Amino acid sequence: MVDIPLNKKLILFDGVCNLCNNSVLKVIKYDKKNTFLFTALQSETGKKITKQLHIDTQKVDSIILYEPGISYDIKSTAALKVMNDFGGIWQLTQIGFLFPESFRNFIYDFIAKNRYKWFGKKESCMIPTKELKAKFLD
C-alpha cells in the first residue's frame, strides 16, 4: 500500500516520454494550490498503485489521475480534471467535457500513439531537481 496524503492527487505518467515529462513540468508550474504529486508508471510506486487499482498498464498506457479514497481517471478525463484544478482561464478547458468521452479519448489515443515519434523518448525516467523532489513519490 502506498501512503498518499488525502489532500493530494497523484498523477501517474509515462516517465520516458518527452511530451509527458514536459506536461508534468507544466502542471507543477500551474499547480498554485500544491495539489499534485507525481510518479512514473514505470517506477516501483507507479507499479504498486496500478496493481492496487487493478489497472493493466499494457492496455492503459496513459495519464492516470488518482485521488486516494475517491477515484481515479485516465486519458482525456484525467487531463481535463487536472487542468480544472488550476482555476482561472484554465477552466475554459472544461468545455472538453461537452464532447463524448469516446471522441475525446480517440484524439488522446492518436496523440499518445505518436508521442514518441513526434516528441521523442528518454532512455530512463526523469530525475527531478532538488527543488522538485518533494513533488515526486520516487
Is 107 part of a structural domain of the chain?
yes
CB neighbours of residue 138 within 10 Å: 13
Domain containing residue 125: 9-135
Is 76 part of a structural domain of the chain?
yes
User: How many structural domains is the chain composed of?
Assistant: 1
- Please state the φ and ψ torsions of residue 73, each to the nearest 5 degrees: -130, 155
Predicted pLDDT of residue 130: 67
Is 64 part of a structural domain of the chain?
yes
Is 56 part of a structural domain of the chain?
yes
Predicted pLDDT of residue 98: 96
What is the value of pTM for the model shown? 0.87
Is 4 part of a structural domain of the chain?
no
Is 15 part of a structural domain of the chain?
yes
Q: Which amino acid does the sequence have at 81?
A: K
Is 3 part of a structural domain of the chain?
no
Give the Å distances, CA to CA, from 12 to 38, 42, 89, 92.
6, 9, 24, 24
pLDDT tens for the chain, 138 residues: list them: 677 877 899 999 987 677 787 888 899 999 999 999 999 888 899 999 999 889 888 777 789 999 988 899 999 999 999 999 998 999 999 999 999 999 999 998 898 888 878 877 766 555 666 667 777 787
| Block residue for cell numbers 497523484 | 10
Is 93 part of a structural domain of the chain?
yes
Predicted pLDDT of residue 114: 85
